[in-house]
Amino acid sequence: MKKPIPKLKNEDAEREFWATHDSTDYIDWRRGKRLTLANLKPSSQTISLRLPKPMLDRLKLLANKRDVPYQSLLKMFVAERLKAEFESSETDGARR
């Protein structure tokens, strides 16, 4: 039988506790389940991307028509394409 996890006063106490104790004494990790935290904001990373000026101008024009920042529109386009590519590769893989 696993040891009960003690009630701790705050996050600092909890951090200290887990830094000095083995979680396997308290938790049966074999019974753990994968979980998706859908409401977490994904972390983002700043990148530098060189685009031809005419392409950037057209992107900005489209974004202006849709009343969204051009960077957001670009992210939407990339996300849509990635989704389509991964879905088609999954479909192709199922046919093999």
Domains of the chain as residue ranges with CATH: 1-31 (no CATH), 47-96 (1.10.1220)
Rounded Cα distance, 35 and 42, in Å = 15
Long-range contacts of 59-63 (CB under 8 A, 24+ apart): none
Length, in residues, of the chain: 96
Six-digit token pair at 42? Answer: 């994904």
Mean pLDDT of the residues in the chain: 90
Neighbours of 14 (CB within 10 A): 14
**Could you tell me the pTM of the whole model?**
0.52
Neighbours of 17 (CB within 10 A): 13
* Residue 38 pLDDT grade (very low, low, confident, very high; cuts 50, 70, 90): confident
Rounded Cα distance, 95 and 33, in Å = 30
- With a cut of 80, say whether residue 28 has pLDDT above it: yes
* Residue 93 pLDDT grade (very low, low, confident, very high; cuts 50, 70, 90): low
Give pLDDT, residue 76. 97
